[in-house]
Structure 1
């Protein structure tokens, strides 16, 4: 069985946090790309919405077989 990895990204939803939102989306994209270079693939993405932020949880797998 392969290795499972999960990472969490918290994204602000307030209009005055646009710069922070763009930075965090870029960081998430870089994390996904880095795992992809290590032969991980995305299994699932779950979001939890709140008033001031959205939490994104990505689960990836590396099938070592």
Structure 2
């Protein structure tokens, strides 16, 4: 098989393997689904931390002024 014929087939396989095919270890998700889910959870946790921190700073500021 020549490289010009092999490259598109390998690309199709890589897309199928990483974007569509579920894998057992990350909870039967495709690798890209797992990465997106994990990053979304980390992002949500960071947002929660920032909002919580800002809430405490707001309360502290207004408590000192009272």
Question: Same fold by TM (over 0.5)?
Answer: no
TM-score (norm. length: structure 2): 0.38
**Which one has the bigger strand percentage?**
1
Higher relative contact order (CA 8 A, sep 6+): 1
TM-score (norm. length: structure 1): 0.38
**Which one has the bigger helix percentage?**
2
